[in-house]
């Protein structure tokens, strides 16, 4: 991408921006960031510009990440090296990296967050550029709210993005960590995890929710089996919900082409093209 490039550069070759308006950094927040870097890794690249012909680099964005990386003893740090002052070009460079690179779900979430916070990108722009829906982007960013131990398992590929999104349905971090351990130990599928989360939510904080809990247990296995068969048929995630008076089937798709593929499987196109 003209105007910007990605690189792993030595931490010691970076100098702070003398015009940085922030001089006081919250110690507690810095400790949390250091812990996250140690357990999950540095997910968001900093932004720098070259000095002295490339021997030194001046920080443009990301001083907290740079300081935390220093404190954890890292030798190098991922960075966008800007060759221009055009912020739009830097934003495009990061978008290109998201679109082309094989990022894990947490790296993807961090890249989205960086685009929103530092480069002024919008959800609509992200959705258009990478062929995803706004809800998908929002749900991916929410993965950054998971506990560090769970994030580490997602980054390592032990837990899938589907598992991680299901865990977000639980209110407290301890429950999320406990269920994450169970997923790994028992090899639970995403749908089994979603069912466990639904049961936990249905039970609620009070013992008066027993009728609702019994109803969920009675219907959940059949619904889960049906949703799994539909998901296999359409090669995408399908949810089946039944309320008191009606039910709903939700079929997810990534792009318009993906939607057309699913519609073709359903048979709408074949029905329209039948002869008289």
Whole-angstrom distance, CA of residue 213 vs CA of residue 199: 7
Are 153 and 167 contacting, i.e. CB atoms less than 8 angstroms apart?
A: no
31 carries an active-site annotation: no
Q: 3-state class of 255 per DSSP?
A: coil
Tell me which DSSP letter residue 6 carries: E
Question: Within 78-172, where are the H helices?
Answer: 87-100, 105-118, 123-130, 134-141, 148-155, 161-167
Whole-angstrom distance, CA of residue 241 vs CA of residue 259: 21
* Chain mean position to CA 248: 26
What torsion do the CA atoms of 202, 208, 210, 216 make, to the nearest 10 degrees? Answer: -20
Whole-angstrom distance, CA of residue 22 vs CA of residue 34: 19
Active-site position among 12, 28, 50, 63: 63
The angle subtended at Cα 153 by Cα 7 and Cα 132, nearest 5°, is 65
The angle subtended at Cα 16 by Cα 10 and Cα 17, nearest 5°, is 135
Token pair in block for residue 202: 């249905």
Q: Please give the positions annotated as active site.
A: 63
């Amino acid at each position: 991408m003209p105007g910007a490039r990605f690189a792993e550069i030595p931490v010691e070759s970076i100098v702070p921006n003398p015009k940085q308006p922030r001089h006081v950094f919250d110690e507690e927040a810095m400790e949390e960031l250091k812990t996250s870097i140690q357990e999950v890794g540095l997910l968001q690249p900093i932004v720098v510009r070259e000095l002295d012909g490339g021997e030194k680099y001046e920080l443009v964005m990301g001083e907290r990440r740079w300081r935390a990386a220093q404190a954890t003893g890292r030798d190098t740090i991922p960075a966008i090296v800007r060759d221009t002052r055009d912020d739009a070009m830097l934003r495009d460079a990061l978008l290109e990296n998201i679109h082309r690179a094989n990022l894990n779900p947490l790296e993807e979430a961090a890249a989205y967050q960086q685009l929103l916070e530092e480069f002024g990108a919008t959800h609509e722009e992200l959705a258009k550029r990478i062929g995803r829906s706004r809800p998908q982007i929002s749900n991916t960013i929410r993965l950054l709210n998971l506990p560090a131990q769970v994030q580490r398992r997602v980054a390592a590929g032990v837990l899938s993005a589907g598992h991680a999104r299901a865990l977000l349905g639980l209110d407290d971090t301890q429950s999320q960590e406990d269920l994450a351990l169970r997923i790994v130990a028992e090899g639970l599928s995403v749908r089994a995890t979603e069912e466990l989360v639904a049961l936990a939510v249905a039970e609620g904080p009070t013992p008066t929710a027993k009728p609702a809990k019994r109803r969920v247990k009675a219907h959940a296995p059949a619904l889960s089996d049906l949703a799994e068969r539909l998901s296999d048929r359409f090669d995408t995630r399908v949810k089946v919900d039944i309320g008191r008076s009606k039910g709903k089937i939700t079929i997810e798709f990534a792009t318009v082409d993906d939607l057309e593929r699913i519609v073709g499987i359903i048979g709408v196109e074949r029905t329209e093209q039948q002869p008289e």
